[in-house]
Chains A and B, each alone.
Chain A
């Protein structure tokens, strides 16, 4: 897994914005808020949150409405809505590019997009300095179906290309964890047993929050140096050295860059 690349606060008209690129997915997020809310959406005690997801091609469909609902419910639990009563926090996410193989992976493409949408929304919220309870990190886990008896390991944050190679995929899971390690969101699709879900959940927790037993630098998210993949009868070696950090550390490095940019004038004097 390669670290996502992020540009923060690059839109001038929005209060907060972020462009997020990872695994061929590229999303622009913009946050406006707290702003005036329409009378019918106004909540007397807390801020209303509006999420707009725009697809890369065409206009929104029920698929986008479903993603908006998932995002809305997840973000509402981390934004301190009670500190901004009778206001609106408007989050707009424009999908800019999708990987070429996105349509042919054979898995639910709204699930493969979901972790990226969550990350973009969070980064845009951080950029807009909306008060939040905690942060979140999300990851996609795919479990390819194992031919015969050999067990195929789960794929962690696979790219669309990985998913095509390891067809057929039996189940995909999306997990989102809060900064303090609590689970915020789980969406699963396909056939899986409870043990398999449990294993996927543990795996996601290690990636999102980092493993506490080990030192932060020494984290390994995949066993051994490489993972054996069964794809059309051929075993392939995928190098797992690419990423050693947890997503939590990645988020911290993004924020550190933002703070350093803001404090530049202070250090110069």
Chain B
């Protein structure tokens, strides 16, 4: 890990030397959130954060952990059903934003005869199917290629906890999870669902354990606890379960 990441402010040009060279298979450079391309070849930051580059994927983005969630296609999110229209549910990803649509038929095994009945305020784990800036974003609970739910759908029971967007990203990362949950999972059984929109749904069967786990996750987030500290926290939390 680099000792001190390059700190970017909005409007800072990124030196061509610090962008990935494109030596891998992918020849075109991919710009992630927080970067803007001005033709012919100027790349400027639009938010404050640290520059992240990935040589293998030939991609660059700005890493920041604040602000409101903006939907991107492919993100796994926890949506709150706000109401039902003719063909779809209106869902909220973050409060006070225009609703995203979740079609009635985008559930596993749903047909025109057997539509899912979701009352307002129920929680749905879904994938962002497409997110354009000019249209309301569209959600789906099935994999379009297989038609299976793959773990997506209605979240029953449990409680919802708010975490920062960076924390949600970190828990969903390919390397997988945080030490806290691995350590605790060895002792108690629980189910955790993480939404990219900064929401974590915890269901441990009883309220006490659920609360303890949820609050431990929030503590790891706010205090930025490293692995060793997480193990200690897990032991302390297990005493309360």
Q: Which residues of A contact B (CB under 8 A)?
A: 9, 15-16, 32-36, 78, 80, 83-86, 126-135, 178-180, 251-252, 255-256, 258-259, 261-269
Contact = CB atoms under 8 A, between A and B. Distances in A.
Interface string B224-236: 1111000000000
Contact of A252 (B9, B66, B96): B9
Contacts of A178: 11
Contacts of B97: 34-36
A36 B11 contact: no
A11 B80 CA distance: 23
A255 B67 contact: no
B66 A128 contact: yes
B75 to A, nearest CB: 16
Interface residues of B, number: 32
A130 B48 CA distance: 9
Contacts of B238: none
9 interchain residue pairs of minimum CB distance: A268-B226, A129-B67, A134-B11, A132-B10, A264-B224, A131-B46, A262-B65, A35-B96, A179-B11
Nearest to A34: B68
Contact of B10 (A135, A263, A265): A135
A133 B133 contact: no
B70 A34 contact: yes
A248 to B, nearest CB: 9
B119 interface: no
B48 A80 contact: no
Interface string B26-68: 0000000010100000000011111000000000000111111
A195 to B, nearest CB: 31
A179 B9 contact: yes
Given A36-B98, A85-B133, A85-B134, A265 B7 contact: no
A83 B49 CA distance: 19
With most chain B CB atoms within 10 A of its CB, the pick from A9, A33, A34, A261 is: A34
